[in-house]
């Protein structure tokens, strides 16, 4: 190391990684004109940023855990970035689905089975399929030009980087607290590993029978929130029906047109 350079502290590393991520995204975000140089530079910077984040992050227990976690995390992050830099909306949706799969993988590695699976069911399985459905129906051939470009590449890249930096900083500060670091990976629980699990404590949400405990928690302490969410969804449902239904008069008009309209 060159003595004149400041030592590579974790904070500096993080700042560098965040900056590289911002510049990389700014270079990669779709604009009117394509530049091969900007593209390759953006890809390189993105790789540098990812390496920086990995280096700044905390190590997990074993090599296997580390490998699995890094794989799913990289899938989530890289496809998340690809979602916003891709030009084709269909590809964008696919990348988003892959990103959700990565997030679900991270949750599974951390032992939050219900959240992981629910992410796939709700987002990838239902919402995104609807997106794809609409995209394919609405624009089967090509795109409108205004959909091809990013509106505010610089501002959005900077805003994203600031958010990313603040989040990593606060989470990093939390994780240097000794109290929080004893989160063991529960990934082994999925394969029914034989090693005796730590005795479940009363307030460990990832202990055995977690779905039952989650249900108890949701319908015990958070009952009001669940009920309010239910009412909200019902209202949205009724709203959707109200928007779609056009009433008997409109239907009658349609019938009249269908009967006498022909191919006018």
Residues 6+ apart with CB under 8 A from 246: none
Q: What does the alpha-carbon distance between residue 188 and residue 111 come to, in Å, rounded to a whole number?
A: 9
Instruction: Please count the residues of this chain forming the interface with other proteins, following the rule CB under 8 A.
Output: 44
Token pair of 152 as six digits: 């505010």
Note whether 231 binds other proteins by CB under 8 A: no
Note whether 251 binds other proteins by CB under 8 A: yes
- CA angle centred on 46, ends 116 and 1, rounded to 5°: 115
Q: Which region among 39-47, 143-151, 153-161, 250-258 touches other proteins (by CB under 8 A)?
A: 250-258
Q: Which region among 29-37, 208-216, 219-227, 235-243 touches other proteins (by CB under 8 A)?
A: 208-216
Residue choice 118, 139, 160, 172 for contact with other proteins (CB under 8 A)? 118
Q: Is 119 helix (H, G, I), strand (E, B) or coil?
A: helix
Q: Which region among 21-29, 47-55, 145-153, 203-211 touches other proteins (by CB under 8 A)?
A: 203-211
Residue choice 58, 191, 202, 244 for contact with other proteins (CB under 8 A)? 191
Q: What does the alpha-carbon distance between residue 34 and residue 187 come to, in Å, rounded to a whole number?
A: 43
Please say which residue, 220 or 261, places its beta carbon nearer to other proteins: 261
Token pair of 71 as six digits: 């794989």
Residue with the two structure tokens 């394509």: 34
Q: What does the alpha-carbon distance between residue 105 and residue 81 come to, in Å, rounded to a whole number?
A: 17
Q: Is 92 helix (H, G, I), strand (E, B) or coil?
A: helix
Please say which residue, 78 or 158, places its beta carbon nearer to other proteins: 78
Q: Is 177 helix (H, G, I), strand (E, B) or coil?
A: coil
Minimum distance of other proteins from residue 136's CB (angstroms): 5
Binding footprint of other proteins on the chain (CB under 8 A): 62-64, 90-91, 94, 97, 101, 113-114, 117-118, 120-121, 124-126, 129-130, 132-133, 136-137, 140, 188-194, 208-212, 251, 253-255, 257-258, 261, 264
């Amino acid at each position: 190391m060159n003595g004149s350079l400041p030592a590579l502290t974790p904070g500096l590393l993080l700042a560098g990684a965040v900056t590289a991520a911002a510049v990389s995204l700014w270079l990669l975000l779709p604009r009117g004109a394509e530049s091969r140089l900007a593209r390759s530079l953006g890809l390189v910077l993105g790789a540098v940023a990812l390496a920086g984040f990995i280096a700044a992050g905390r190590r997990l227990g074993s090599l296997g855990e580390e490998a699995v976690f890094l794989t799913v995390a990289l899938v989530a992050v890289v496809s998340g970035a690809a979602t916003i830099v891709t030009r084709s909306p269909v590809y964008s949706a696919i990348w988003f689905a892959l990103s959700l799969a990565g997030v679900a993988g991270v949750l599974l590695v951390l032992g939050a089975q219900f959240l992981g699976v629910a992410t796939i069911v709700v987002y990838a399985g239902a919402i995104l399929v609807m997106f794809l459905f609409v995209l394919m129906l609405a624009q089967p051939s090509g795109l409108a030009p205004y959909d091809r470009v990013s509106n505010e590449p610089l501002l959005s890249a900077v805003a994203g980087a600031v958010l990313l930096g603040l989040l990593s900083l606060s989470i990093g500060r939390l994780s240097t607290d000794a109290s929080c670091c004893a989160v063991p990976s529960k990934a082994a629980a999925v394969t029914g590993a034989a090693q005796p699990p730590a005795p479940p404590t009363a307030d460990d949400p990832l202990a055995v029978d977690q779905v039952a405990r989650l249900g108890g928690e949701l319908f015990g302490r958070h009952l009001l929130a669940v009920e309010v969410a239910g009412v909200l969804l019902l209202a949205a449902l009724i709203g959707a029906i109200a928007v779609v239904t056009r009433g008997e008069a409109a239907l009658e008009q349609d019938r009249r047109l269908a009967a006498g309209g022909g191919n006018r």
